[in-house]
């Protein structure tokens, strides 16, 4: 600092960097800066031109977001990963930046997350996007859809939302690759603690980081994990469209991610206990949970997930009406009636009025999302207390 600098300059320029000294922080630093200074204009030019790694402006990437992306790529086994402000921002960037670009075509799972289904229908309606919906458990139907026209991306969920159908990633990867298509898997409901789709042949893995990977209900984020080419396109989308993940959110997700395996171990164990109890309850017509032998893809889930079946249980009230669902929700105390999942605490969502509200009621009914369907995200509370709470709420139905 030059001696000639006056107080007004010194107070602005003081403490622009951490003091040097031995010792590596065990927690990655939160680099909150929007702008980055450089030793020369040539260095800045090289970074802007992607000729060397570095940082120039928050929307172009920050060290904290890059640390999260590197960690997620390592966990998922992909070349790179690019983070976004939400799961919806991530999946929109992938669909528009890779799948549908230059007249591409998507074959998508018909019972995807309701907002994703609504997004694809809007892209089809407003931009004449070539999107076809298919039952991913019917491999003949998938093959026929892929064969009907050149397809760039087959998009599925590892565990569907909210019906908890399990997709055979290896079989679908083979179907897609044989026809020159890419398999993209939204693995939000499973998380890397249950399955890593890349190990079964998927090309792209997408997560809502808001859910299990963060796991604390206090931040939103999304990620697209894939090849270096996919990552380059995703970075460009984040820069131009502005859906980048800010550093504080990235730092919180890194913090939450460290306990992912521990949290999921408890949540999966408790979810299985809850599912078994609900399956025997007289007020419940049916239960959707891959860990139950009654689930249509139980054998596949056992093989693909290695003994864990996720922390979400969906069930249909025997009184399959909106009124019964409302009575159940209003009777909850310990379990939150909330529109998310994957948190430390348990939450129930009513798809008909929330996640799948935008879907035509007739299409919801065709897919099996009835007025009595409820989705329970099991937290880390004592499962006996959760069962007591569920019994109390079911008694009001």
Do residue 48 and residue 170 come from a single domain? yes
Is the pLDDT reported for residue 5 higher than 90?
Answer: no
Residue 357, pLDDT score: 78
Do residue 52 and residue 122 come from a single domain? yes
Do residue 240 and residue 127 come from a single domain? yes
Do residue 217 and residue 329 come from a single domain? no
Do residue 252 and residue 270 come from a single domain? no
Cα separation, 87 vs 106, in Å, equals 18
Is the pLDDT reported for residue 28 higher than 90?
Answer: no
Last residue of a domain, which of 233, 257, 281?
A: 257
Cα separation, 33 vs 55, in Å, equals 10
For residue 260, give both structure tokens. Answer: 């992912």
Cα separation, 105 vs 103, in Å, equals 7
Cα separation, 214 vs 258, in Å, equals 9
Average of pLDDT values for 330-340? 95
Residue 107, pLDDT score: 98
Is residue 120 domain-resident? yes
Q: Given CA atoms 262, 265, 267, 269 in this order, what sign does their dihedral have?
A: negative
Residue 1, pLDDT score: 46
Active site residues: 59, 113, 186, 211
State pLDDT tens for residues 104-143. Answer: 999 999 999 989 999 999 999 999 999 999 999 999 999 9
Is residue 12 domain-resident? no
% of the chain exceeding 70 in pLDDT: 99
Residue 358, pLDDT score: 76
Do residue 277 and residue 349 come from a single domain? yes
Residues in the chain: 397
Do residue 96 and residue 222 come from a single domain? yes
Do residue 282 and residue 139 come from a single domain? no
State pLDDT tens for residues 279-332. Answer: 999 999 999 999 999 999 999 999 999 999 999 999 999 999 999 999 999 999
CB contact burial 8-18 (16+ within 10 A = b; e otherwise): eeeeeeeeeee
Do residue 244 and residue 265 come from a single domain? no
State pLDDT tens for residues 141-182. Answer: 999 999 999 999 999 999 999 999 999 999 999 999 999 999
Confidence of residue 361 (pLDDT cuts 50, 70, 90): confident
Note the helical H segments in the chain.
7-13, 41-48, 63-76, 87-94, 114-127, 139-147, 169-178, 228-241, 247-257, 260-279, 298-305, 322-330, 361-367, 383-394
Do residue 323 and residue 201 come from a single domain? no
Task: Look at the chain and report how many structural domains it folds into.
Answer: 2
How far is residue 274 from each of residues 253, 319, 329, measured CA to CA in Å? 28, 20, 17
- Indicate which CATH number applies to the domain containing 249: 3.40.640.10
Question: 47: which strand partners?
Answer: none
Average of pLDDT values for 362-375? 88
Round the average pLDDT of the chain to a whole number and report it. Answer: 95
- Indicate which CATH number applies to the domain containing 267: 3.90.1150.10
Is residue 50 domain-resident? yes
Do residue 250 and residue 339 come from a single domain? no
Residue 264, pLDDT score: 98
Average of pLDDT values for 190-219? 98
Residue 63, pLDDT score: 96
Is the pLDDT reported for residue 342 higher than 90?
Answer: yes
| Range of lowest pLDDT (45-59, 138-152, 212-226) | 45-59
Is the pLDDT reported for residue 54 higher than 90?
Answer: yes
Cα separation, 352 vs 38, in Å, equals 52
What is the DSSP code string of 116-185?
HHHHHHHHHHHH--EEEEE-TT-HHHHHHHHHTS--SEEEEESB-TTT--B--HHHHHHHHHHTTPEEEE
CB contact burial 55-86 (16+ within 10 A = b; e otherwise): bbebebbbbbbbbbbebbbebbebebbbbbbb
Residue 297, pLDDT score: 97
Q: Quick one: residue 343, left, alpha or beta (phi over 0 = left, psi -120 to 50 = alpha)?
A: beta
Is the pLDDT reported for residue 3 higher than 80?
Answer: no
Is residue 240 domain-resident? yes
Burial of 46 (0-12, 13-18, 19+ CB in 10 A): middle
Last residue of a domain, which of 257, 286, 306?
A: 257
Question: 153: which strand partners?
Answer: 106, 182
Cα separation, 49 vs 45, in Å, equals 6
Confidence of residue 2 (pLDDT cuts 50, 70, 90): low
Residue 13, pLDDT score: 84
Find the domain containing 275 and state its range.
260-394
- Give backbone dihedrals phi and psi of 284, rounded to 5 degrees, phi first: -110, 125
């Amino acid at each position: 600092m030059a001696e000639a600098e006056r107080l007004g300059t010194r107070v602005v320029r003081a403490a622009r960097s951490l003091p040097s000294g031995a010792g590596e922080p065990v927690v990655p630093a939160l680099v909150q800066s929007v702008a980055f200074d450089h030793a020369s204009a040539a260095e800045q030019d090289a970074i802007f031109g992607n000729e060397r790694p570095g940082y120039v402006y928050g929307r172009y990437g920050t060290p904290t977001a890059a640390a999260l992306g590197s960690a997620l790529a390592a966990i998922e086994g992909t070349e790179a990963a690019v983070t976004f402000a939400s799961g919806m921002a991530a999946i929109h960037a992938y669909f528009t930046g890779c799948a549908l670009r230059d007249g591409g075509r998507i074959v998508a799972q018909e019972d995807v997350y309701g907002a994703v289904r609504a997004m694809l229908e809007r892209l089809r309606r407003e931009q004449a996007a070539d999107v076809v919906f298919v039952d991913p458990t019917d491999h003949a139907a998938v093959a026929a859809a892929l064969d009907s026209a050149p397809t760039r991306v087959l998009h599925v969920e590892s565990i569907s939302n909210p019906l908890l159908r399990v997709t055979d990633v290896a079989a679908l990867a083979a179907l897609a690759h044989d026809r020159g298509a890419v398999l993209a898997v939204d693995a939000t409901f499973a998380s890397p603690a249950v399955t890593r789709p890349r190990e079964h042949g998927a090309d792209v893995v997408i997560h809502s980081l808001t859910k299990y990977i963060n796991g604390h209900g206090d931040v939103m984020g999304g990620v697209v994990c894939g090849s270096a080419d996919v990552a380059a396109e995703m970075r460009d989308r984040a820069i131009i469209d502005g859906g980048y993940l800010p550093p504080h959110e990235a730092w919180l997700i890194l913090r939450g991610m460290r306990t992912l395996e521990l949290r999921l171990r408890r949540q999966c164990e408790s979810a299985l206990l809850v599912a078994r109890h609900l399956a025997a309850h007289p007020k419940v017509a049916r239960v959707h949970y891959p860990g139950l032998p009654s689930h249509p893809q139980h054998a596949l889930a056992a093989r693909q997930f290695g003994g864990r079946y996720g922390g979400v249980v969906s069930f249909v009230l025997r009184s399959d009406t909106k009124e019964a669902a409302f009575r159940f929700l209003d009777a909850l105390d310990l379990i939150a009636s909330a529109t998310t999942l994957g948190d430390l605490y348990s939450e129930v969502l009513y798809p008909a009025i929330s996640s799948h509200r935008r879907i035509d009621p007739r299409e919801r009914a065709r897919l099996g999302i009835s007025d009595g369907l409820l989705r329970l995200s099991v937290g880390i509370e004592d499962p006996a207390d959760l069962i007591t709470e569920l019994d109390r709420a079911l008694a009001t139905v």
